[in-house]
């Protein structure tokens, strides 16, 4: 199998002079939980070895890198949107809003934000550029992807303690076969995204409608 080699990203401004942060999110695909984003401003003089797209790293490696990123980064912030906000504004807009909040929570003015994907964050006080496959091409975005993923997984483990019968620690909210089978027997908690197809289907099957709004129990 031929390995795909991505073109290196060339930043349009000098990163040794200007502050260039990176942003990414975790949790677009799951049926439940917050979408979590991170924004990171790395120190060009203090590089971090092993940064990569969080999906390409083991959980053990991500957990090891998270404190290192927080220690060595010049600044970082976490932002998120709730399931209710996702249902209201859709997951794409919620993901971008979570990244905007992450930048604000970073509390460090930058000159440029690089965002993973092909959409830019709106309503920012700085320039923003989308970088396709940025989590594998840009160190700042890779660092943000790791912080976002570790934080969201942490939330899944906390929910698992509250609701062990849902097995959130195992499937992390993704629509696995086992997860969907569990939802046929268990109530739909308020941490679920009721605008998502599988959840809408389950709620419709249970015929839970009040004032034209589906409820979940």
Domains by residue range for the chain, with CATH: 20-160 (3.30.420.10), 163-214 (no CATH)
User: What band does 125 get if pLDDT is binned at 50, 70 and 90?
Assistant: very high
Tens-place pLDDT, residues 92-103? 999 999 999 999
Residues listed for the chain = 217
CB 139 within 8 A of CB 114: no
Tens-place pLDDT, residues 183-209? 999 999 999 999 999 999 999 987 654
In angstroms, the CA 80 to CA 149 distance is 12
**pTM of the entire structure?**
0.92
Q: Which two tokens stand for residue 81?
A: 């949107």
Mean pLDDT of the chain: 93
Tens-place pLDDT, residues 51-67? 998 999 999 999 999 99
């Amino acid at each position: 199998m031929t390995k795909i080699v991505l073109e290196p990203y060339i930043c349009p401004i000098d990163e040794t002079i200007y502050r260039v942060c990176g942003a990414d999110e975790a949790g677009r695909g799951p049926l439940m939980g917050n979408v979590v984003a991170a924004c990171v401003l790395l120190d060009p003089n203090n590089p971090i070895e092993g940064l990569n797209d969080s999906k390409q790293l083991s959980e053990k490696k991500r957990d090891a890198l998270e404190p290192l990123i927080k220690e060595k980064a010049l600044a970082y912030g976490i932002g998120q949107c709730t399931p209710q906000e996702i249902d209201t504004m859709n997951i794409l807009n919620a993901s971008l809003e979570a990244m905007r909040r992450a930048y604000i929570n970073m509390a460090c003015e930058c000159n440029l934000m690089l965002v993973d994907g092909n959409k830019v964050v709106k309503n920012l006080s700085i320039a923003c550029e989308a970088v396709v496959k940025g989590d594998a091409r840009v160190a700042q975005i890779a660092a943000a992807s790791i912080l976002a993923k570790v934080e969201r997984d942490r939330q899944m483990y906390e929910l698992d303690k509250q609701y062990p019968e849902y097995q959130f620690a195992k499937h992390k909210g993704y629509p696995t076969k086992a997860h969907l089978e569990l939802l046929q027997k268990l109530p739909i908690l308020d941490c679920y995204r009721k605008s998502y197809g599988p959840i809408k289907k389950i709620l419709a099957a249970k015929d839970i409608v009040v004032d034209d709004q589906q409820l979940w129990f």
